[in-house]
């Protein structure tokens, strides 16, 4: 890390403490990694003393460091490197990438690649088990789709998970079969996570030192984007142990809040983790956060629709198939397995818990001292989460608030109910630029990434990335929250747009509260850690035409500069 004096003052920039987004100051003083004063230049200089270094940033802006409150840090490190598949355009390129990756891995050990999108491939389908077998006959292989909720395994990988022709998928999972009933390698949701957990364990065990080296490189990317704290939204016991090793060896520089999961798979009930350290345990550098539960899938999220909404959605799906001259929209729709209940409501997608099981799991977590963050994308999964929080009662006093992760599809009534329960929504603004948003049916009455509705209802909204499923530049998130445009320029529910400062609050002050670290960071106040960013201009003065020019020039972590634009900083 680049050292600065023990005392320094930042001058010439507009300082936004974010306690109140409307407040502006002229300077900030730092001593020994803590904020000493925020106020006028005279006040800051007087507090720091005559020997203090002066950092002048004319026209810039100082804000609290960004907190990515839902980021899969270790999967980003493991799967976000050279074996990424986001650029492949057809199956042959995908298979060639896997062959190349396999050459660097000893025979018999896992090859995992992430990032392909079947919609973008020329063939508009997933690869098959047989194709992966032919490409990498000597390795277990797992190719994971960009959403991280489905993928394909070859024969060796399926065998590692003991999946065979007699296997039944775990609740909420799908094990694909061909017309003869044989495994075709396609896995979705909880079934995918069984194989992924085995692969991740083997990859981390194979070379922990290399993983830690890759972690150091990835941290520099985070600092370059102004991110000064991560909440890793799915930390298995082995990953937790590796974080502790990284901290002990001085390799973990960015503070991490860990959301524990089961060691058997991301989406499986974490009964095994209930015996471990509860929420709040640890240091400011590495702390246990809320227990992570998954209530539904991604493209197979748990939705509840009226018959009319289903008909509207079906019409749009058929139109999309005809316009794009592809059967993929119809195949995707059929995979959702719509069911009509006795209440004449249509339910689609995968549910990982029964209603009673959801309540019991949240209550068990509270009893063991955990607060809870629930992955719930579809409106029915959101309802399950709200029901579970209401029935289980509050978590331990002083714990972070209950969280709904994603909450992508909701109703206005659910927003009001969340406000009454004190539930925080951890959204991902840049999801609006994912490829799936170009074709997503939007039934009337449902709101998507409804930041405006949630804020107006009194819900605390937190911004995050969900990397590696999406990009993790907070300023891209700010732009998406404001514009609500897909990559092609389609505007999605423009009324749900929120302002630049509102989104910056969601990446700073409100993210700190959701992670249980508001006493340490998230705002620029005397006594707090000197984690802050310097932008090239005041974000309050940008508009839609100029927001693309907004950038991070410097990043400070506990008073040490860890990023200077145009200069490579080494932690």
Rounded distance between C-alpha atoms, residue 519 and residue 531, angstroms: 13
Residue with tokens 């029915």: 380
Residue 224 falls inside a structural domain? no
Q: How many CA atoms lie within 13 A of 142 on its CB side?
A: 29
Residue 569 falls inside a structural domain? no
Residue 266 falls inside a structural domain? yes
* Strand ranges, E, within 53-182: 53-56, 61-64, 66-71, 111-116, 141-145, 150-153, 173-177
Tokens at residue 58, please? Answer: 């004319």
Question: Other C-beta atoms within 10 Å of 488: how many?
Answer: 9
- Specify whether 242 is located in the same domain as 320: no
Predicted local distance difference test score (pLDDT) of residue 317: 53
Residue 286, preceding peptide bond in cis (omega within 30° of 0): no
Residue 218 falls inside a structural domain? no
- Specify whether 332 is located in the same domain as 415: no
Contacts 24+ apart (CB under 8 A), 499-502: 500/539, 500/540, 500/542, 500/547, 501/16, 501/21, 501/22, 501/539, 501/540, 502/21, 502/451, 502/455, 502/461
Residue 279 falls inside a structural domain? yes
Domain boundary pick from 204, 237, 252: 204
Residue with tokens 């409804």: 450
Predicted local distance difference test score (pLDDT) of residue 256: 98
Which CATH number does the domain housing residue 87 bear?
Answer: 3.10.310.70
* Strand ranges, E, within 17-110: 27-31, 34-39, 53-56, 61-64, 66-71
Domain boundary pick from 515, 540, 555: 515
Predicted local distance difference test score (pLDDT) of residue 342: 67
Residue 219 falls inside a structural domain? no
Contact call for residues 357 and 381 (beta carbons, < 8 A):
no
Q: pLDDT, tens digit, for every residue of 161-220?
A: 999 999 999 988 999 999 888 999 999 999 999 999 999 999 888 888 889 999 999 999
- Specify whether 54 is located in the same domain as 120: no
Given the DSSP bridges, would you call strands 150-153 and 183-189 parallel, antiparallel or unpaired?
Answer: antiparallel
Low-confidence ranges of the chain (pLDDT < 50): 1, 82, 321, 330, 334
- Specify whether 56 is located in the same domain as 99: no
Residue 499 falls inside a structural domain? yes
- Specify whether 284 is located in the same domain as 414: yes
- Specify whether 329 is located in the same domain as 355: no
- Angle, in degrees to the nearest 10, between helices 237-248 and 190-206: 30
Rounded distance between C-alpha atoms, residue 125 and residue 138, angstroms: 24
Domain boundary pick from 154, 169, 204: 204
Contacting residues for 561 by C-beta, under 8 A, at least 6 apart: 1, 2, 3, 4, 554, 555, 569
Tokens at residue 199, please? Answer: 């692969």
Which region, left, alpha or beta, applies to residue 500 given φ > 0 means left and ψ of -120 to 50 means alpha?
alpha
Range of the structural domain that residue 257 is part of: 229-298+350-515
- Specify whether 26 is located in the same domain as 55: yes
Predicted local distance difference test score (pLDDT) of residue 309: 67
Residue environment code for 335-373, b if the CB has 16+ CB neighbours within 10 A, otherwise e: bbeeeeeeeebbbbbbbbbeeebbbbbbebbbeebbbbb
Rounded distance between C-alpha atoms, residue 127 and residue 187, angstroms: 11
- Specify whether 271 is located in the same domain as 317: no
Contact call for residues 454 and 418 (beta carbons, < 8 A):
yes
- Specify whether 393 is located in the same domain as 496: yes
Q: Which of 69, 63, 70 is nearest to 523 (CA)?
A: 63
- Specify whether 93 is located in the same domain as 152: yes
Predicted local distance difference test score (pLDDT) of residue 133: 97
Contact call for residues 532 and 556 (beta carbons, < 8 A):
yes
Which CATH number does the domain housing residue 539 bear?
Answer: 2.30.40.10
Contact call for residues 114 and 148 (beta carbons, < 8 A):
yes
Alpha helix positions (H), 278-378: 307-324, 328-335, 355-367
- Specify whether 321 is located in the same domain as 451: no
Tokens at residue 291, please? Answer: 């227990």
Rounded distance between C-alpha atoms, residue 414 and residue 435, angstroms: 27
Residue 221 falls inside a structural domain? no
- Specify whether 265 is located in the same domain as 357: yes
Residue with tokens 């804020």: 455
Predicted local distance difference test score (pLDDT) of residue 47: 94
Domain count, the chain: 4
């Amino acid at each position: 890390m680049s050292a600065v004096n023990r005392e320094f003052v930042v001058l010439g920039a507009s300082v936004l403490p974010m306690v109140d987004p409307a407040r502006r100051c002229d300077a900030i003083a730092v001593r020994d990694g803590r904020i000493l004063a925020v106020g006028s230049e005279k006040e800051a200089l007087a507090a720091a003393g005559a020997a203090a270094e002066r950092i002048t940033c004319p026209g810039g802006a100082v804000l609290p460091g960004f907190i990515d409150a839902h980021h899969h840090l270790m999967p980003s490190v493991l799967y976000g490197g050279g074996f990424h598949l986001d650029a492949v355009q057809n199956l042959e390129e995908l298979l060639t990438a896997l062959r190349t990756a396999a050459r660097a891995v000893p025979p018999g050990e896992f090859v995992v690649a992430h990032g392909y999108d079947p919609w973008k491939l020329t063939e508009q389908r997933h690869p098959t088990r047989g194709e992966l077998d032919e490409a990498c006959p000597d390795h277990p292989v797992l190719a994971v789709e960009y959403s991280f909720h489905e993928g394909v395994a070859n024969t060796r990988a399926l065998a590692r998970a003991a999946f065979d022709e007699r296997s039944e998928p775990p609740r909420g999972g799908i094990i694909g079969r061909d017309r003869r009933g044989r495994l075709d390698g396609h896995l979705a949701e909880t079934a995918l996570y069984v194989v992924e957990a085995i692969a991740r364990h083997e990859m981390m065990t194979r070379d922990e030192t290399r993983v830690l080296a890759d972690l150091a490189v990835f941290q520099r990317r985070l600092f370059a984007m102004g991110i000064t704290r991560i909440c890793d939204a799915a930390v298995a016991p082995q990953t937790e142990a590796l974080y502790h090793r990284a901290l002990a060896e001085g390799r973990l520089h960015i503070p991490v809040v860990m959301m524990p999961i089961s060691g058997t798979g991301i989406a499986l009930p974490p009964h095994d983790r209930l015996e471990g350290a509860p929420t709040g345990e640890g240091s400011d550098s590495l702390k246990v956060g809320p227990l992570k539960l998954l209530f539904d899938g991604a493209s197979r999220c748990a939705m509840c629709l009226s018959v009319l909404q289903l008909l509207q959605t079906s019409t749009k799906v058929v139109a999309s198939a005809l316009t794009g001259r592809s059967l993929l929209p119809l195949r995707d729709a059929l995979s959702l397995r719509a069911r009509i209940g006795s209440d004449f409501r249509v339910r689609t997608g995968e549910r990982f818990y029964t209603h009673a099981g959801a309540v019991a799991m949240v209550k068990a977590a509270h009893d063991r001292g955990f607060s809870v963050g629930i992955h719930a994308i579809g409106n029915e999964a959101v309802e399950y989460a709200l029901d579970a929080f209401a029935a289980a009662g509050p978590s331990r006093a002083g714990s972070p608030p209950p969280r709904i992760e994603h909450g992508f599809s909701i109703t206005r009534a659910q927003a009001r109910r969340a406000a009454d329960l004190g539930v925080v929504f951890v959204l991902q603004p840049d999801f609006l630029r994912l490829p799936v948003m170009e074709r997503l049916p939007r039934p009337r009455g449902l709101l998507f990434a409804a930041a405006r509705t949630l804020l107006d209802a009194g819900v605390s909204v937190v911004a995050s990335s969900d990397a590696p499923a999406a990009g993790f530049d907070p300023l891209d998130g700010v732009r998406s929250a404001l514009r609500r445009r897909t990559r092609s320029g389609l505007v999605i529910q423009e009324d749900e747009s929120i302002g630049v400062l509102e989104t910056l609050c969601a990446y700073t002050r409100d993210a700190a509260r959701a992670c249980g670290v508001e006493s340490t960071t998230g705002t620029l106040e005397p006594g707090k850690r000197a984690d802050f960013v310097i932008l090239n201009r005041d974000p309050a003065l940008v508009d839609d035409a100029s927001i693309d020019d907004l950038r991070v020039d410097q990043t400070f972590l506990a008073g040490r500069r860890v990023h200077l634009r145009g200069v490579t900083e080494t932690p």
